[in-house]
A and B are shown apart, each in its own frame.
Chain A
Amino acid sequence: MLRKPQYIALIVIALTGLILLSLSEAVASRVKLGVTSLFLPLFGATETTQAAARRAGNLMVPRSDLIRELEQLRAEKQKLEFTLAQTQEAGRENERLRRLAGLSTRPGWKLKPARVIARDPANWWRTVFIDLGSKDGVRVDLPVVTPEGLAGRVSAVGTSRSQVVLLGDQTCRVAGMVRETAENGVVIPYPQDPSIVTLTYLSRGSAVKPGQTITTSGLELKPGHHVLTSGLGGVFPAGIRIGEIVDVRSDGFGLYQSARVRLAVNLNALEHVWVVAQ
């Protein structure tokens, strides 16, 4: 049998738990971000340690390696300058054509670099914390990317920290598109493997016969096809890489197709990300 203090303790913890659980989402989010402030020394220590390790590493690199790398980077820079000039010309041409066609101009991206400072301790969620907050202009639902592709979206914002929900989490759904066939679908989690997501609600891809009304691209989805954001959901801009198709299967009693997509980004090894402010 429980003794009296134990009963009181149980009542206290149950009441506290219930009060915390009944907080509204906005208040709970604010409390959560407040509690994370207790771990500020840890974030500072991690940054200092990493900087010290980098400095120590820099001291140990031989001068000849640095010179060789510098030459490679110079060559790469020149190549990128040519590519940039071509891209800028193509952009200007695109702008002129859009104006002639009466289409609105597409706003450019503003990328804000951020560092991953904490990860979700629970094995069943996929979120991280970054060191940018509302004071840096970060808002809820802004896309988060890496050079390899889409990583996720901002789900909660504090003054100097934000929570990012990653691709593959059940609360992060993305409107996706297969680049080769222009098929649209929705990216949902694939629970068995964190490096894979499912692109679902794709049309069946049946071959188009002459005289038939074309409602789909009619092209077959194949492994290796690239999946990008379609921009249809209104959260993610179009054209961000998500991954490559691994395999395709018929789903929903044959009504639509689903494709397993291997993510372009290794979400377990995220260290630096960019927040896309449109």
Chain B
Amino acid sequence: MNRLEPIFTLIAAWLAVAFEISFPGFRQLLGFQISLLPALMVYVALSSSVPRILQLALFGGVAIDAFSANPLGISSLALAATGMLLHHNRDLVLRDQAYAQVAMGLLATALVPALVVLALTNTQHPVGLTWRLVGQWLGAALAGGICTPFVFRWFALLNRWFSYQALPESHFRDTRQIKRTRI
């Protein structure tokens, strides 16, 4: 799985971006789009290395900005900052617990757009802060938090499929048995 992990991360990022740009269901139903990249970043930050975080931040961020009116690269910076923050504190997080995954997903999904909006205030077209935007931000953060454990489950499944399974330890060793024979 270690060699395949970068590829799986990129495929997952591609799928996350494809979902965001082509599935209008949540936008029509809830009034906002759900972002899966921060949830993916939580998984990568808590269970992988710094190069994987950068890879995801660069690819995912640039892909998101390519389909958006955001300046190119702004989402990469926000994703990378969030990923590095989580990676730096990963020893403090019980990453196998679902509630910890939800909490980290909620934090990341709230932090990424907040950082982007903050960075946009220094551009030609700053985003006007309205109650509607705050509502969308909270809703998207909640949805991102709920999605995060599913990302962990999905990668656990991939791990099971593509990794060598550890053999179960057995106390029986045929070569170590005392042969009781007549002296």
Contacts and interface: CB of A to CB of B under 8 A. Distances in A.
B125 A121 contact: no
A195 to B, nearest CB: 10
Interface stretch (B16-24, B95-103, B155-163, B167-175): B16-24
Interface string A1-41: 01001100110111011111101000010011111101100
A123 B133 contact: yes
B53 to A, nearest CB: 7
Contacts of B136: 123
Given A6-B50, A16-B73, A42 B18 contact: yes
Interface string B93-126: 0000000000000000000010011001000010
- Interface majority SS (helix, strand, loop, mixed), chain B: helix
B86 interface: no
Interface in B67-89: 67-74, 76-77, 80, 84, 87-88
A54 to B, nearest CB: 17
A46 B19 CA distance: 11
Interface in A177-193: 191-193
B4 interface: no
B148 interface: no
Contacts of A155: 69
Given A9-B54, A35-B63, A191-B130, A122 B70 contact: yes
A6 to B, nearest CB: 6
B50 A36 contact: no
Interface in B16-43: 17-18, 20-22, 24, 27-28, 31-33, 35
Interface stretch (A56-64, A87-95, A165-173, A201-209): A165-173
A268 B133 contact: no
Contacts of A268: 24, 27-28
B35 A121 contact: yes
Nearest to B16: A121
> Which of B50, B87, B130 has the most CB atoms of chain A within a 10 A radius of its CB?
B50
B110 to A, nearest CB: 13
B69 A16 contact: no
Interface string A247-275: 00000000000000000000011000000
B51 A32 contact: no
Interface string B52-67: 0110011000111111
A56 B50 CA distance: 47
Nearest to B50: A9
Interface in A215-246: none
Contacts of B31: 194
Contact of B77 (A2, A14, A39): A14
A17 B77 contact: yes
Nearest to A18: B73
Contacts of B164: none
B140 interface: yes
A193 B113 CA distance: 20
B127 interface: yes
> Which of B17, B33, B69, B87 has the most CB atoms of chain A within a 10 A radius of its CB?
B69
A193 B132 contact: yes
Interface in A99-132: 117-125, 127, 129
B18 A171 contact: no
A169 B69 CA distance: 10
15 contacts: A9-B53, A13-B54, A13-B77, A17-B76, A17-B77, A20-B72, A34-B66, A38-B63, A119-B24, A119-B27, A123-B133, A123-B136, A124-B120, A191-B128, A194-B31
4 tightest CB-CB pairs across the interface, nearest first? Answer: A20-B73, A35-B66, A121-B20, A118-B21
Given A13-B77, A35-B66, A39-B14, 11 more contacts: A12-B54, A13-B54, A16-B76, A28-B71, A39-B18, A122-B68, A123-B32, A125-B68, A129-B67, A192-B130, A268-B27
